[in-house]
Amino acid sequence: MRIEINPDIKYQPGTQRVFDYKTTLSNIENIFSDIGVTELKDITHLDRVGVPVVSATRPSAGIGAISVYSGKGATEIQAKISAIMESVERCFAEIPETNADFKDKTIDTDRIIKTYEDLKDTNAIDPETLLLPEPITPGTRLEWMSGWDLLDDCEVLVPTNAIYHPHTSGTFLFRSNTSGLASGNTIEEAIVHGLLEVIERDAISIAEYSRNVGTEIILQEDDGEVYDLKSKFESNGISVKLWLLPSITGIPVVVAALDDIKTKDPTMLVMGAGAHLSAEHAIFRALTEAAQFRLAQISGAREDVQNRSGFVVGAGYDRMKRMNKFWYEGGETTTLQEIPDLLSDTPAGSIRTIVERLRLCGAAEHVIIVDISQPWLDVPVIRAIIPTFELYTVDRERIGERARAARKERGRDAMRARRAQRGVRGRV
């Protein structure tokens, strides 16, 4: 089904939001019963840093999904919106027919079961481009759903394993995840968020796999809100490293790596990430997400955090720091002013910039948006999928060619450096 992008919708002045925060909250604060949310709780007070974080509880979450989500922001209202929207996304990501919150509701979904070979004369995505952990057997029957390719402006078919989470129907290709899942005030806003998350995960995956985290961003006092936010961590005894990751698109992807040097708690060695057309916005997202992860660890309510904590506590602070030392070491530096700003004043303009960057980078053959919204709730939800883009950070079994090449290049660089130190000339 074609996705129409409205070029006339504009962001609110000075923001990257279509509506102001009060309007957005008023539009969504009464939908809890529709999506199974039973509690919305401000947990900011649990952490000494004081960055607003709100948690949402959805006991009806399907088997294999987490039931506690969290949202963050500069204010409590922003954190509430973030938590509610995360809840909507997680709810709509579940397979409609088995979703406990979709009972007695009109479901809008159209799926088919075919082999890839059956669909070769159509615009069907080759499953192998989704970075499968194991090759697919020819003739395997898969469940497919329609999406829209923004790169070629045409309809495409995508395996539902790449769309729904948890994926519990049809043939298993890989562990499902939520990468590229996004909602918004409008579908245009959701598309921007979803595409940026896929680009973010790609850059983090390559950085982690190659241990090349790029360039450290040094903030200055006149950088305003992001400088103040970083200082908030540091004044509470938390070291912050901000990294501008290598990114094939040139779109700013930033990681904030935190180290609680006051408590030396291994569970507080956390990171946050953000991708945005503005480096300032990307830094803000990375810092607030890092605060969110701290509070998720402290509250202990999220199932995915509970699974991580056992290993981390057992390993201890020193070992965890050594294992992740590349996030905490020094390197080349840059400033916020040196990073190009790609902002637009409309969601359509943002989408156009992102798609053009993806086209020019040469790594994306498809840029797919699947609309998983439902007619009974006026909140657009989409899944953004860019085949071949890396996912190592969310699934260690799925590694693509660019991540492998980056690791090899990093190894060659290290060998050259060692030879240079020994005063040995030669070619690698």
Parse the chain into domains and list their residue ranges: 21-103, 197-338
Q: How confident is the model at residue 362 (pLDDT cuts 50, 70, 90)?
A: very high
- Residue given tokens 């985290």 in the structure block: 213
Model pLDDT, residue 237: 98
What three-state secondary structure class fits 68?
Answer: strand
pLDDT tens-digit readout, 91-145 = 999 999 999 999 988 887 889 999 999 998 999 999 999 999 999 999 999 999 9
Three-state SS letters, 100-129: HHHCCCCCCCCEEEEECHHHCCCCECCHHH
- What distance lies between CA 311 and its chain's CA centroid? 23
Q: Is the pLDDT of residue 235 over 70?
A: yes
pLDDT tens-digit readout, 148-161 = 999 999 999 999 99
pLDDT tens-digit readout, 285-334 = 999 999 999 999 999 878 777 667 788 999 999 999 999 999 999 989 99
What top-level class would CATH report for the domain 21-103? alpha beta
pLDDT tens-digit readout, 338-359 = 999 999 999 999 999 999 999 9
Higher-confidence residue of 202 and 309: namely 202
CB atoms within 10 A of CB 23: 13
Q: Per CATH, the architecture of 197-338 is what?
A: 2-Layer Sandwich (3.30)
DSSP state of 137: P
Decide whether 21-103 matches 197-338 in CATH topology: yes
- The strand order across the sheet containing 53-57 reads 39-42, 53-57, 68-72
Q: Is the pLDDT of residue 425 over 60?
A: no
Model pLDDT, residue 393: 98
Q: Is the pLDDT of residue 428 over 80?
A: no
How far, in Å, CA of 183 to CA of 193, rounded? 8
The pair of structure tokens assigned to 65 is 């999904």
Single pTM value for the model? 0.95
How far, in Å, CA of 421 to CA of 6, rounded? 57
Model pLDDT, residue 421: 75
For the chain, what is the mean pLDDT? 95
